[in-house]
Structure 1
Amino acid sequence: MQMIENYKAEAEVYHGDLALCKKKSMQLLQELGLPKGLLPLEDVEEFGYHRASGFMWLVQKKKIEHTFKKIKQHVSYATEVYTSV
């Protein structure tokens, strides 16, 4: 969580409204030219994006297991997911 806190002050942050968090994260994926299904979004409590650095994060209620059927790849998403894009 400390890594996320380092970026929050200057980031776009959405939290509390599951539908809004999902919408904003989908908009970012589309803006970056990434597949909409890249992040299976369930119960997202917070979504943030620090445009200057490209750092983005999601905080969700529980860990999620997902299988990408087309590529037959099983993945696991922790309650905190963050990356630089």
Structure 2
Amino acid sequence: MKRQYLVRIDKDVDSDWGASVPDLPGCVATGKTIDVALRRIESAIELHLRGLREDGIRVPPPRQRAVRPHRTPKQVRFYATVEVAA
């Protein structure tokens, strides 16, 4: 079974790219590029889900939501989806 989680991608002027998963609080990753951040968040999601299962905690299903990109001179924020084995 596969699940698609929404991933928030952020970048401040003085930082690397950051990725987080709104449906999985605490599941985060960073990377020098967007591609690296997305690859790392995919691994982080799989690890996070495995940890939840091992702890006997129900894996939260991905929620559907409407999102809007955000950009200022000092910050970029947009969303992507990542599909992982569930």
TM-score (norm: length of structure 2): 0.25
Q: Which of the two has higher C-alpha Rg?
A: 2
Structure with the larger RCO, 1 or 2 (CA within 8 Å, 6+ apart): 2
